[in-house]
Amino acid sequence: MTGEDAFILGYGYVGKATAKALEIPYYFSRGDSNITLKEGAKKLFCFICLPTPTDEKGRQDEARKVIHDYISQMKEYGGRNIFVIRSTVIPGTCKALTEEFGVMVASNPEMLSEDTWEEDALKPRIKIIGADDIPSRNALVTLWKPIRSKIEVITDTVTAETLKYVFNAFFATKIVFANQVYDICEKNGANYKTIREALMKHPWGSKHHFKVIHKGGRGAGGHCFPKDLKVFAKYSSSDLLKKVEELNIKYLQGSHKS
C-alpha cells in the first residue's frame, strides 16, 4: 500500500503536506488538478484537506456542505473510497457522513504549523488516526507506518476530531494566560521575562506560547487558533473557553493581529 493508492482533495498547505509525507502524486482542487474526481473514485484513499471556515457564531455550515457534496458526488461514481478527513471538523462529522452515505470516513487531523508545514509533514510531533471500522483503521496505520512520530494516537473518529480542537484550545488558552500575566507585570512592575523563563525551565511549566509579542501582535492569531477556539467553545459550551475566546478577541483587536 503506497501513496499511489490515494489522492488529495484540496491542495493548500495541508494538502501539500499530506502529499509530501505520504508521497501521494495525485490531487484535485478548484484551482489546479492532475486527476479528476471520477479517476479519484478508483483510488483506495481520498484525503480531504479542504478549508473549514467558521462563521461569527462558530458554525461550519459552508465547510460541511462542501465536504458533504464532494463525498456525494464521488459515491455516484461507484468507487469504494476510504474518505480521510484531514480538515478540522466538528466532532461527530465522520460518523454523520458514514451513516448518511454508507461509506468509510476516518479522521486523520493534521497537526501542522503553517510556517513549518514541510518539516512538520515529514517529522510530525504526533500522528492521530481515528477510525470506527477495523479496515479503515488498519489501512491508515499501514499507510502512515513509514512516517515516524514520538506520539501515535489510534482511536475512534469522535475522539480524534475532539483531540484536534482540544490541542488548539489548550494552546490558545496558554497564550491568553501568558498575556494576562504580562498585563499584571506591566501594572505591578514585575519582570515578565524572569517569570516566563522560570516557567519554561520548570518541568510543570511550558516551553511554548509564553512569548507575548509574536509576529508583531498579541493573542492567539493565525488561521487556526481563533476559528478553532470559537467552534470548540460553542460546541462544548465551556464557560472557560468562552471567556478565553472573549479575552483573545480583545488582544487580537488591540494589536490588530489576526
190 and 147 belong to one structural domain: no
Distance CA 3, CA 21 (A): 9
151 and 174 belong to one structural domain: no
224 assigned to active site:
yes
Answer with the one of 155, 174, 203 that is the final residue of a domain: 155
71 and 29 belong to one structural domain: yes
Task: Count how many domains the chain has.
Answer: 2
Answer with the one of 155, 189, 221 that is the final residue of a domain: 155
Average pLDDT, the chain: 91
Q: Which of 255, 256, 242 minimizes the C-alpha distance to 183?
A: 255
Q: What confidence category does residue 210 fall into, taking pLDDT thresholds of 50, 70 and 90?
A: confident
77 and 186 belong to one structural domain: no
150 and 24 belong to one structural domain: yes
Q: Which of 46, 49, 94, 224 is catalytic?
A: 224
43 and 100 belong to one structural domain: yes
Q: For the packed helices 192-201 and 157-188, what is the interaxial angle rounded to 10 degrees?
A: 140
23 and 125 belong to one structural domain: yes
142 and 184 belong to one structural domain: no
Cell numbers 514585575: residue:
190
202 and 120 belong to one structural domain: no
18 and 106 belong to one structural domain: yes
List the CATH number of the domain containing 236: 1.10.1040.10
Look at residue 256 and tell me whether its pLDDT is greater than 60: no
Answer with the one of 115, 132, 155 that is the final residue of a domain: 155
Domain containing 168 equals 164-255
List the CATH number of the domain containing 48: 3.40.50.720
Single pTM value for the model: 0.90
The larger pLDDT score, comparing residue 31 to residue 171, is at 171
pLDDT in tens, 85-137: 999 999 999 999 999 999 999 999 998 877 788 888 888 999 999 999 999 99
The vertex-18 CA angle with 54 and 109, nearest 5°, equals: 45
127 and 173 belong to one structural domain: no
Look at residue 224 and tell me whether its pLDDT is greater than 80: yes
Bridge partners of 126? 151
135 and 212 belong to one structural domain: no
